[in-house]
């Protein structure tokens, strides 16, 4: 399908709204994306005609639901270049996926004196679990600072990386500045000293094609809701040779082979990490979103977002006393501050004009501290944004600047 923005926008019913009498301009896709009609229909049809539990019973409906649920796992594996669908673990999102790694692999294998390297531009979800694990194991957190532009300090990382480091936690693309981290080099360097790498791909999988096999990454996590899919479904990829090293996490139904008071045997991966009734509709919805995306050339999407990003950036730098925090065209993310004006006040005035943005610390307190700011206004673009969105946003920001 040729990428035609009007045709694309027509598939997102959410966008056909007004706020305070203004056309809705949605510029908060880094927080959560809107859903195309095909994903909405997939969810509705599942609950209307196919709702059944999976891997339980022998009736037709559970067999059908199980088939679609596991086919969705196959779709995800193909989407991220995983060689085997069994390396795909369903979670509720990126946060749960990172915690799963922390409380299975890391809790078992880290010891006192080991090191976990984390950059200070990470989302809290890729910091706090490792702090908790460090407290429980005696491991040490090694903070990788950011550069003046909020980017990963590669030189510092190389200088502090030793064989004491057992795990590196890094975002593919950061959620505040949109900085694309050098994950290929980080993975290679970490492996050279025997460390594993946990990549938070929540933003990365949206803006790049991902091949976990080629990356040679140990753990890669992302959330469906940022990729035009439902809330409450996420993915954890685990390298095949690491899966056997991870103990079970939660106990319950579906993750067992046999239970008795004499002892319990567990199902093989990935089932042993998926206790209880799963989010079947979410998994099917994620597969529907990926299938929908396949009709487009990813390069067309990237070029479309890059063009809008450039137009937005050029408009913002022309506004007096406005300062952009980092600039990464490929991510569609721009964060800014305004001299003497609180980010909440700006976002409030934009909302009154129908412009939806994110303001605050963006679950990135350490980065805010490093940059000596309390927060930013973040605008994040997606494939369904158009030129009119940029024009309205820039006019609204200029108006807010004049008022404030």
| Cα 333–chain centre separation | 13
Residue with tokens 């569609």: 332
For residue 37, the surrounding DSSP H or E stretch is helix 37-45
User: Of 119, 165, 272, 363, which residue is the catalytic one?
Assistant: 363
Length of the chain: 404
CA distance 173 to 180: 4
* Secondary structure of residue 350 in the 3-state scheme: helix
Q: How far is CA 53 from each of CA 62, 140, 248, 274, 280, rounded to the nearest angstrom?
A: 6, 43, 22, 13, 8
Residue with tokens 């908790």: 132
Q: Is the dihedral of CA 276, 282, 287, 290 positive or negative?
A: negative
CA distance 237 to 80: 9
Cβ neighbourhood burial of 269 (10 Å; 0-12, 13-18, 19+): buried
Instruction: List the end-to-end C-alpha distance of the chain, in Å, as a whole number.
Output: 45
**Spatial contact of 309 and 334, defined as CB atoms under 8 Å apart:** yes
Residue 363 annotated in active site: yes
Residue with tokens 């989010």: 279
Q: Which residues contact 92 (CB under 8 A, 6 or more apart)?
A: 232, 233, 234, 279
DSSP string across 64-118: HHHHHHHHHHHHHHHHTT-S-GGGEEEESSHHHHHHHHIIIIIHHH--TT-EEEE
Phi first, then psi, for residue 31 (nearest 5°) are: -80, -50
Which residues have a catalytic role annotated? 363
């Amino acid at each position: 399908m040729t990428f035609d923005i009007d045709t694309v926008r027509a598939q997102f019913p959410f966008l056909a709204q007004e706020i305070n009498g203004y056309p809705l301009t949605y510029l908060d896709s880094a927080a959560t994306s809107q859903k195309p009609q095909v994903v909405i229909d997939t969810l509705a049809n599942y609950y209307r005609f196919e709702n059944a539990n999976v891997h339980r019973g022998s009736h037709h409906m559970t067999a059908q639901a199980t088939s679609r649920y596991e086919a969705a796992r196959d779709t995800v594996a193909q989407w991220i270049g995983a060689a085997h669908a069994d390396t795909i673990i369903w979670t509720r999102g990126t946060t749960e996926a990172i915690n799963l790694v922390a409380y299975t692999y890391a809790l078992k294998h880290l010891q006192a004196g080991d090191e976990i390297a984390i950059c200070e531009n990470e989302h809290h979800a890729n910091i706090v679990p490792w702090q908790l694990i460090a407290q429980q194991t005696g491991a040490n957190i090694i903070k990788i600072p950011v550069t003046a532009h909020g980017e990963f300090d590669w030189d510092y990382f190389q200088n502090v990386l030793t064989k004491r480091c057992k795990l590196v936690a890094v975002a593919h693309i950061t959620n505040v500045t949109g900085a694309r981290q050098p994950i290929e080099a980080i993975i290679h360097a970490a492996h050279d000293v025997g460390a594993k790498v946990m990549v938070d791909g929540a933003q990365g999988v949206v803006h790049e094609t991902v091949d976990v096999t080629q990356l040679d990454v140990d753990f890669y996590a992302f959330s469906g809701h940022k990729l035009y899919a439902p809330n409450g479904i996420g993915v954890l990829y685990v390298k095949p040779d690491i899966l056997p090293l991870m103990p079970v996490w939660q106990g319950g139904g579906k993750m067992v082979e046999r239970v008795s008071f004499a002892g319990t045997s567990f199902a093989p991966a990935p089932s042993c990490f998926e206790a209880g009734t799963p989010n079947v509709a979410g998994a099917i919805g994620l597969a529907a979103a990926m299938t929908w995306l396949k009709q487009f050339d990813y390069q067309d999407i990237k070029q479309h977002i890059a063009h809008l990003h450039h137009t937005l950036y050029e408009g913002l730098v022309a506004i007096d006393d406005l300062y952009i925090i980092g600039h990464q065209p490929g991510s569609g993310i721009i964060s800014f501050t305004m001299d003497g004006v609180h980010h909440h006040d700006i976002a409030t005035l934009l909302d009154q004009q129908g412009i939806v943005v994110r303001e605050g610390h963006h679950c990135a307190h350490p980065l805010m501290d490093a940059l000596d700011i309390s927060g930013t206004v973040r605008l994040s673009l997606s494939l369904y944004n158009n030129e009119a969105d940029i024009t309205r946003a820039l006019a609204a920001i200029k108006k807010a600047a004049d008022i404030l």
